[in-house]
Copies of this chain bind each other. A is one copy, B any other.
Amino acid sequence: MPVETVDRLGQELDAEARRVRADVDSFFAKLLAPPGDTREKLFEAMRHAAIGGGKRLRPLLTIAASRLFAIDRNRALRVGCAIEAIHVYSLIHDDLPCMDDADLRRGKATVHTAFGEAEAVLAGDSLHALAFEILADPETNSDPWVRCELVLELARAAGPSGMAGGQMMDIAGEGAELDLAAITRLQQLKTGALIEYAVEAASIMAKLPPEARRPYRGYARNIGLAFQIADDLIDHSGDATAAGKPTGRDASAGKATFVSLLGEERARQQAGFLVTQAIEHLSGHASEADLLRAIAHFAIERDH
């Protein structure tokens, strides 16, 4: 790509990413408004976790992918927010003392640190349920078939065959010598499944049958892996302030990562290769796929 194109796409991506962050914050502020009773602390805990932080990669992916099919941006945003609700719930639970025991997340106190452990469990559980409530609501899509497919695939991506299963693999792998195949499979479940869903969701809204959704899942699978390698590189050599969380944790936990297995140089090369592959999956699309191309391109060019 010519340098001017890269610059232009970078600016377009920045603008859309900023807009998505603001829109997701507004959505959650409305959804999680104070209930006016003794559930207040639960809603406060959810707002703390769901508003004002994070890259919002998943909603950004859904909105970028929805351009391929000229899907209404507000409808794509609702689906993106459902995915983000799942992502945020998983962060709250992953941070619990019995899991990663983390004090800091997105540069703020974790939910259990700020609100208590029981409240953190319940805030996660509540966001989990809300994700499905958002998707099944007719406001998200007028076609019940679309809503059902959105629910079905999100449940698969979040549950024991997806994110929660990957988290179990991660726990089971502690202290074990995982090889590249095991790490890749773990990542594909733990973070990959939800990222794949974020892109596939747009093709579901376009009413594509499962076989026709494959290129979009392929794009997402590649950038999901590339993102994970970039995260490992940041943890390996990054700056805690820019990352908004402590770095160097994988190495001190003796955890195998793409970087520990491949070395820094080969890990960077592999991430670059995955981005190229991701972009190839979009070859059937013209400029409407530019935002997805830009996300792939900049996925690995970041420090947080």
Known: A38-B168, A125-B164. A144 touches B148 (CB 8 A): yes
A159 touches B171 (CB 8 A): no
A158 touches B173 (CB 8 A): no
A151 touches B132 (CB 8 A): yes
Among listed A65-73, A113-121, A236-244, A293-301, interface-contacting one = A113-121
Number of copies of this protein chain within its complex: 2
A41 touches B168 (CB 8 A): yes
Residues of B contacting A99 with CB < 8 Å? 118, 121
- Cβ of A56 within 8 Å of any chain B Cβ, yes or no, is no
Residues of B contacting A289 with CB < 8 Å? none
Among the listed B37, B144, B160, B182, which residue makes an inter-chain contact with A42, where contact means beta carbons less than 8 Å apart?
Answer: B160
| Distance of A118 Cα from B119 Cα, bound (Å) | 16
Among the listed B121, B144, B151, which residue makes an inter-chain contact with A145, where contact means beta carbons less than 8 Å apart?
Answer: B144
- Cβ of A156 within 8 Å of any chain B Cβ, yes or no, is yes
A165 touches B39 (CB 8 A): yes
* Count of residues in A whose CB is under 8 Å from the partner chain: 58
- Cβ of A172 within 8 Å of any chain B Cβ, yes or no, is yes
A156 touches B169 (CB 8 A): no
In the complex, the chain B residue whose C-beta lies closest to that of A86 is B129
- Cβ of A93 within 8 Å of any chain B Cβ, yes or no, is yes
Give the distance to chain B from A94, nearest Cβ to Cβ, in Å: 9
Give the distance to chain B from A11, nearest Cβ to Cβ, in Å: 38
B144 touches A130 (CB 8 A): no
| Distance of A167 Cα from B90 Cα, bound (Å) | 19
Give the distance to chain B from A44, nearest Cβ to Cβ, in Å: 11
In the complex, the chain B residue whose C-beta lies closest to that of A186 is B38
Contact with B along A82-110 (1 / 0, CB 8 A): 00000001100100101100000000000
Give the distance to chain B from A60, nearest Cβ to Cβ, in Å: 23
Residues of B contacting A119 with CB < 8 Å? 168, 171
| Distance of A165 Cα from B132 Cα, bound (Å) | 16
Given A144-B145, A144-B148; 7 other pairs, CB 8 A cutoff: A118-B171, A129-B158, A136-B151, A136-B152, A136-B155, A137-B152, A143-B144
**Listed A/B pairs (8) with beta-carbon separation below 8 Å:** A39-B160, A41-B172, A90-B125, A98-B116, A125-B164, A129-B160, A132-B154, A144-B144
